[in-house]
Structure 1
Amino acid sequence: MTRISLKQKAYEYILQQVLGGGFEPGTLLNRRGVADALRMSPAPVHEAMLQLESEGFLEALPRVGTRVRVASREDVHGHLVLREALECQAARLICGPRLSVDRERLVRLADAVDAVDVPDRQRAQSEVEFHVALVELADCPVLLREYRRVMQIGLFYRINLLLSMTFRTPLKRHRELLDILASATPDAAEAGVREHIWSGKPGTLKHGA
């Protein structure tokens, strides 16, 4: 196996542990321990950790080591601002009849997010899948690539703060968003997405807070 593929294997393993809760926020990562678990040398693990640090999942502490990043409210607010910019542009591209292309699948994904008594981690993952499916309809690879990246770090922030912040998810709000986008003009679609993104968020995360 090449160095690149070993690094990718280490990257995917660490990221899966971070997003799946195996490595909780604040957990110090032992490079040698991860390498032993994956049966590889520490070098590709180190490279993977550097990449994850650059992407915002890990953070290096001087004289301490590398740990799973502890997200701040500023991190989450910044993510939401960037997500708003990308998703509002996508809404302008997909609103109206174009949304009917994959309506049945989108409704299933929306209902999965809005289902009652769903574990928080599962709901967060379902929400990412729903919104990525919407942006896919814009048929813009660059927009989709950047949006996937933003939503992945957003999923991390959401999981990171589940115990310290409350995110209210009104029932049927994702099905309602589909209805808005299906019948809206580009301006109305953008406004609907903006309201959707910020509704239910703690007040300290909202614009001007």
Structure 2
Amino acid sequence: MSKTYSSAERAYLEVKERILGGVLPGGELVSENEIAGELGMSRTPVREAFLRLETEGWMRLYPKRGALVVPVPPNEAEDVAHARYVVETAAVRALAVSDRAGLMAELRASLQRQRALAEVPDFDEFAVVDADFHRAYVVAAGNPLLTGFYDSLRERQRRMNSAALRHGGIDTGRIIEQHQRLADLIEAGDPDRFASGLAAHLTQVHGVALRGL
């Protein structure tokens, strides 16, 4: 991690990364001393990091006991999947009337990276690349408001993916096949079939039913 970060920022980024990557699962109690020792810093910047993570909803602090990593709420997977569906389908409809050559090169490179990670396997990095694959076409649509909203979902998406991958709940081969299909439909400029394919993808990967579809 870059040395230009303050100790508090470094602690924040490291602990948040552990939460999103599933190293610190929901329900686990973490102490300031434990994290400070692992990062080689005092408790003060770790305390600041914990307070920031509590403000963002990732932790809940208990004086003299530590910080509880907030578990994923029961309905969050369904809510995130539905919100993603709305944003991603809107983005692809906008892309249907624009030049997609640059985007397609990016998506193909992502698919190659996904295949390489699946073979290792490196589930933590796969979860990151998976999220970036979907974000690529949202960004390509050129609507900063949609991108900003989507980024607010991305961390929750990654946490869900990481947890499922760590517990063997996701078939990376099937994900890659579905990603390839979605990329093909984007290239073909077929937003209706993309919407159907995305709904099936989200349903199968996260085991949720998308409301109203």
TM-score using structure 2 length: 0.76
SS at 1:167's partner residue?
A: coil
Aligned positions of 1:91-102 closer than 5 A: 91-95=92-96, 97-102=98-103
Aligned positions of 1:32-181 closer than 5 A: 32-38=33-39, 42-60=43-61, 65-95=66-96, 97-114=98-115, 116-117=118-119, 118-162=121-165, 166-169=169-172, 170=174, 171-181=176-186
Unaligned runs of 5+ in 1: none
* Shift in CA distance, 132/47, structure 1 to aligned 2, threshold 3 Å: same
What do the CA deviations read for 1:99-125 (whole angstroms, capped 9, x no partner)? 222322210202333555333323212
Counterpart CA distance in 2 for 1:196 and 1:41 is 45
Which residue number corresponds to residue 196 of structure 1? 201
Counterpart CA distance in 2 for 1:191 and 1:121 is 28
> Any conservation in 2 of the 1:89–1:190 contact (CA below 8 Å)?
no
Measured on the aligned residues, the alpha-carbon RMSD in Å equals 3.0
Which residue number corresponds to residue 15 of structure 2? 14
Counterpart CA distance in 2 for 1:47 and 1:192 is 43
Query: For this pair of structures, how many residues does the alignment match?
Result: 203
TM-score using structure 1 length: 0.77
* Shift in CA distance, 114/84, structure 1 to aligned 2, threshold 3 Å: farther
Counterpart CA distance in 1 for 2:82 and 2:169 is 19
Which segment is superposed worse, 50-59 or 61-70? Answer: 61-70
Counterpart CA distance in 2 for 1:63 and 1:206 is 41
Unaligned runs of 5+ in 2: none
Report % sequence identity: 24
